[in-house]
Chain A
Amino acid sequence: MTLKATADLMERILREETPGKYSYSVSQNEKQELNLENGEFKLLRTVFGSGASARVFLGAKMGAASGNDITEEGLRKLVGEAAAAAESANEDPCHDIAPHQREEVFVQGVTEPDMDRFIERIREFLDTVAREYPKVRIMSGIGSFDRWNRITRNANGTAFESRGGQYFFEMDICAGDGEKTTGLDYAGFSTKALDRPFIEMGDLRRHLEDIQNSINPEPIEGKFEGTVILTPGSAANFIEMLVDNYISDSVVINGTSQWLDKVGEQVADGRLTVSLKPFDERIVIGERVTGSGFRSEDVTLIEKGVLKTHRLSLYGSNKTGRPVVKNTGFDLVVENGEKTLAELIASVDRGLILGGFSGGQPGTNGEFSGVAKNSFLIEKGKIKGAVTETMVNGNLGEAFRRIRGISKEVLCDGGSVVPYIAVDGIVISGK
């Protein structure tokens, strides 16, 4: 059965079985995945998957179910489960489905892979790493080609089809010299083209250089307030925590957001602009349909430091009376700044380049505390060396108000576009 026929079957079952509103999706996907271990090919994995999900409404009561059995029997069972869940639910008119939208088909990425070329590129990358970074070990790696097709519809007549495919490569690396070993680092990227060597993709070369320079880290003495230059990976991590803790559904519905009444106000440094841009050409596969069933849109969350919107789903919007944001992905684009990374480093009296942050999810107060991973000490504008057993503490909201500078350089890894961001006032402490 084609996916369209499966979707039509699902539509028929929902019309037969449920009296009210509904939304649903059906999908098929395929993965070809090459796993590496210690720089060698280890496992070849093929996955054929399928999926179906439905949200069913009985008046103002909503239930949801999902599964991967897309036979008629499986779909009937799934709809029955969703209906039973709805029957037991509270009445809550804030649960809803997206309004009618124009039917669209979205095709992204590459649908027919060149697996031989892909494997050649991986082999070439492994050879390059062995030659240029002899102390680096690729502990594990994954090269995969993923292809999917998804149909999303609802009872208001909205119907979207999304299909596409992408190559993806990621690696876990460490470096060693005798019995000395570094910690773990991670880097990866997604792409639709195989025209460039993988060593030039994303931020892979910097990660390899940094881990090779981290074999002899030194602890920091004492505690001081300094500047932290967030690498693009760290910056994306911190911005994701900021979004979760300050403007997401749960904290706005809860009323615990520190930015509950800050829309339209300056919440961050005037140089910070944060957007989610699934249609940006640098994003390989952007979100096309939101979790609430809207056609996705590019959205700017913070523009020149001003909070433009909370990030609310349809439910969150209905619950709080605030605008819905038609974007539930995380295709992060942060505007670059005017200084080079070298200039940012030169401007720092004492601080860190923070390659990674190993810390807990901050509470709603924004306080964060964790270990600086893959990080380097800066003193008087110069990089001194890798650090170990070093903690960083601060507050998310305060950190983005105290931006020292944003780099011209941006990392494009296929899933995000992010510069280096230097922030002041972070407590850095050693043993």
Chain B
Amino acid sequence: MLQDIIGNKTSLFSDGVQTVLRGQENRNRRVVLLKGNLVQNSRSETRGINARVNDHGTFGFASIAEYTPEAAEKVIRAATENAGALRRHSGRNAPLPPSKGTGEIPLNAAIQDAPQKELIELCRTVDSYIAEKYPDLTSRTVVYYEDSQDRIVYSSDAFCGHLVTPRCYVYVMMSAETKDGVPVELFHAFGGFGSFYDHFREPEKMYPEIDRLYKRLMDKKEGVYAEAGYRTVVLGGMMGGMLAHEAVGHTVEADLVRGGSVAGPNLNKRVGSEVVNMVDFAHSYAGGAAPLPVFLDDEGTRAEDAGLISDGILTGYMNDRESAVEYGMAPAGNARGWTFSDEPIIRMRNTCILPGKNTVEELIASVDDGYYLINSGNGQADLTGEFMFGVTCGYEIKNGKLGRALLDTTVTGVAFEMLKTVDMVSDTVEWCSSGFCGKKQPMAVGMGGPHMRCKIMIGGR
């Protein structure tokens, strides 16, 4: 964990500008077993210091790959000079965002570091289980991946604090072949916020889900292509989370709103049916911790939930301090940078479509002819809200019952049109926190959603 060696450098902050000084360390641990072969076995740590200065609407940023008091002094000076130089070029003279209070946010957790030996042993144990129980697989991959951010933030007119975000996962990927020799694959991620010992002391706890993954892969082996067209579907919770993040979340990031996203002209208008509600949670959800808790952002804003859609009406955006002034909203702590050399930009935290009143079984039983789409490999969306999600796991629904499995397919739509077709929402939410969001820099984010019945374009062959 970082020791605080930068706190006494705030005296170097210039008057008349807003300055944030951040020391940060990122750690990665990675082990990859491909068919039992250890193909990756690595550890990585980067640390350094940065400063960002807002000089009336133009920004200066500087970072150095050293964690020393001298480096702190250098980056404060360089960022201040950069902001001033750019202001002279741009001629901007915007008022500085008002302070929303000052104080210190307490340390939220600790980072525990497990030796590489234990990470490899875990992967071997899981791999052996799969190899012995399922010898008919054409391939299997077991990955241990861990990253963590350890940040100390000091700001000139906002909050400061020392916060950590450790997360770790085991990814299991299985491959088989259809009777025509076509490869099919499925994967599952285990783990979440916390360190190795929080999640993986008992590998056997993963086995029931591994068994279910294998069963679904065998179903997929016998799978069929979806019939292309505009269809009624039940989106699983992971798909709902992908929708919340990719198709809606990005369009309501204020920097993209400013750039012309579809959310601009739709504020306070209907963008979904009345059963659609969406929030970007900061650190807590339903009385417990959110998947990847954020207590303080990299502008020194104390993190709070950002309400986005209420009863189908678009009610807010995700902001940094500057955009919050522009849109007349309160900043909620969305400005984040991934490593010490990254400036804060508007990012999601734990973005979630809220649960409704129906059970998953009721949703499936209500569909005469459609699809149950369970999991997505990836997703992308546009400023217009037009989205694409790859579907890696799904089933037909015929007369309210699950039918044959689907081969890989894709669903598309326009978010604010598709959300208006949502007419049933399940009473439970599934979360995913194992991926990265890409927007100039990577960022660890949580995304969640309930099952939803809706209409969507599905691709066939």
Q: Which residues of A contact B (CB under 8 A)?
A: 34-35, 37-38, 40-51, 62-69, 81-82, 84-90, 92, 94, 119, 137, 139-140, 142, 172, 174, 176, 179, 181-184, 223, 250, 253-256, 315, 319, 358-361, 363-365, 367, 369-371, 373, 388-389, 391, 393, 427, 429, 431
Contacts and interface: CB of A to CB of B under 8 A. Distances in A.
B228 to A, nearest CB: 6
Interface residues of B, number: 81
Contacts, number: 232
A310 B378 CA distance: 27
27 contacts: A37-B259, A38-B258, A43-B58, A43-B61, A44-B61, A44-B82, A44-B85, A44-B86, A65-B44, A68-B45, A85-B116, A89-B120, A92-B37, A184-B382, A253-B35, A253-B37, A254-B34, A255-B138, A361-B377, A361-B390, A363-B184, A364-B183, A365-B182, A367-B408, A369-B459, A371-B410, A371-B412
Closest 7 CB pairs of A and B: A360-B390, A139-B259, A88-B117, A183-B382, A369-B410, A43-B59, A44-B82
Interface stretch (B211-219, B260-268, B304-312): B260-268
In this complex, the member of B59, B124, B387 whose beta carbon has the largest number of chain A beta carbons within 10 angstroms is B59
B378 A360 contact: yes
Contact of B459 (A35, A66, A184, A429): A429
B416 to A, nearest CB: 13
Contacts of B86: 34, 41-44
B44 A67 contact: yes
B147 to A, nearest CB: 13
Contact of B412 (A63, A85, A253, A389): A389
B65 A49 contact: yes
Contact of A68 (B35, B59, B65, B413): B65
A48 B65 contact: yes
Contacts of A64: 40-43
Nearest to A77: B45
B60 A44 contact: yes
A361 B378 contact: yes
Contacts of B230: 431
Contacts of B43: 64-66, 81-82, 85
B461 A358 contact: no
A40 B90 CA distance: 7
A66 B35 contact: no
In this complex, the member of B65, B407, B440 whose beta carbon has the largest number of chain A beta carbons within 10 angstroms is B65
B54 to A, nearest CB: 9
Given A40-B90, A176-B260, A360-B378, A45 B82 contact: yes
B46 A42 contact: no
B179 to A, nearest CB: 13
B183 A256 contact: yes
A233 to B, nearest CB: 15
Interface of B: 34-35, 37-48, 58-66, 78-79, 82-83, 85-86, 89-90, 92, 115-117, 120-121, 124, 138-139, 175, 182-185, 228, 230, 255-256, 258-262, 264-265, 341, 343, 377-378, 380, 382-384, 386-390, 407-410, 412-414, 440, 457, 459-461
A44 B59 contact: yes
A48 B78 CA distance: 11
A393 B386 contact: no
Contact of B386 (A172, A389, A427): A389
Contacts of B184: 363, 365
Contacts of B60: 43-45
A66 B184 CA distance: 34
A250 B61 contact: no
Contact of A256 (B40, B48, B139): B139
B63 A46 contact: yes
A84 B414 CA distance: 50
Contacts of B85: 44
A79 to B, nearest CB: 12
Contacts of A365: 182-184
Contact of B380 (A176, A358, A363): A358
Contacts of B408: 360, 363, 367, 369
B47 A68 contact: yes
